[in-house]
Amino acid sequence: KAGVTQTPRYLIKTRGQQVTLSCSPISGHRSVSWYQQTPGQGLQFLFEYFSETQRNKGNFPGRFSGRQFSNSRSEMNVSTLELGDSALYLCASRKGQGDVNTEAFFGQGTRLTVV
């Protein structure tokens, strides 16, 4: 079955612009989480959506937002881009919520470069 699909794979934006990243989870998976990966900070949790509702949020400024649609696809948006937002953004899907034992399936990520 198809894995987690993230689009686009690569993106170059200018400071001050905004960007929208997309994630299509594995079919039947209802939980989508987003992570930011940078060389200096490692993998940091952004937020998690389940059934179109944000369930958890990490310590990121309000410029980072997201949403989930009824088909479980998710988007994240970053407004007023800063150079420090350059990172690999990873999306992970899980089948349900509340089961801490289930693994997360990751997409290949979107490489965002802010210039």
Partner 1 sequence: GDSVTQMEGPVTLSEEAFLTINCTYTATGYPSLFWYVQYPGEGLQLLLKATKADDKGSNKGFEATYRKETTSFHLEKGSVQVSDSAVYFCALGDATNAGKSTFGDGTTLTVKP
Binding site for partner 1 (CB under 8 A): 4, 6, 31, 33, 35, 42-43, 45, 48-50, 55-56, 58, 90, 92, 94, 96-109
Indicate the residue among 50 and 114 with the shorter CB distance to partner 1. 50
Give the nearest distance from C-beta 106 to partner 1 in angstroms: 4
- Minimum gap (Å) between residue 13 Cβ and partner 1: 21
- Contact status, residue 80 vs residue 57, Cβ threshold 8 Å: no
Q: Counting every residue, how long is the chain? A: 115
Q: How many CB atoms lie within 10 A of CB 6?
A: 22
DSSP 3-state of 83: helix
In the complex, minimum distance from the CB of residue 101 to partner 1, in angstroms, rounded to a whole number:
5
The Cα–Cα gap between 62 and 96 comes to 26
